[in-house]
Amino acid sequence: MSYPISVVEIPSATAMHLHKTLHVDRISSDVAAGMGDLFGQVAAAGMNPIGPPAITYLGEFRSGGELEAEFSVPIDEQKTDVKSNGAQVKTDPASTVAQTLHRGNYETIEGAYSALTNWIADSPYSAAGPPTEVYLVGPDQVSDPDALVTEIRIPLKP
């Protein structure tokens, strides 16, 4: 699969964030539970999502290990005082990212990550933070894994 890379300016946005520890060996069920928790807290706070959810992976995937992750979804409210059950509203700063789209099953997403890291290694940029997956079309929207669309972003610095 070909992975075209783009450098994009991501504008500042207000989002609900939820930090979770994921178990790599049961990543699918942990991600589903985390997303359910995130959207439940958004609803409980009386806010509405205004964009696709995302996960920023704060460590490396190691078989049998744990991985820290930050779930987020852009929201329509500026309630920065909301904090419950670990969720918190934050204003994410604008950033420059390298991004690509992965279409299909998550089992083959590693190719998109390889394309991004290779592109960054050959570019005038370096990575400025951990990768984020934005779920443009997620498993809650389609039953066919081939219909999934995930945008992968890696923040950049010159």
Over range 91-107, report the average pLDDT.
95
CATH no. of 6-157? 3.20.80.10
- Report CA 80 to chain centroid distance, whole Å: 21
Biggest CA–CA distance in the chain, Å, is: 45
Give the whole-angstrom CA distance, residue 18 versus residue 20: 6
The ranges assigned to domains in the chain are 6-157
Q: Whole-number mean pLDDT of the chain?
A: 92
Q: Which two tokens stand for residue 105?
A: 């099953």
The SS3 assignment for 104 reads: coil
pLDDT confidence of 80, banded at 50, 70, 90? low
Contact 13, 74 (CB under 8 A): yes
The pLDDT of residue 79: 63
pTM: 0.92
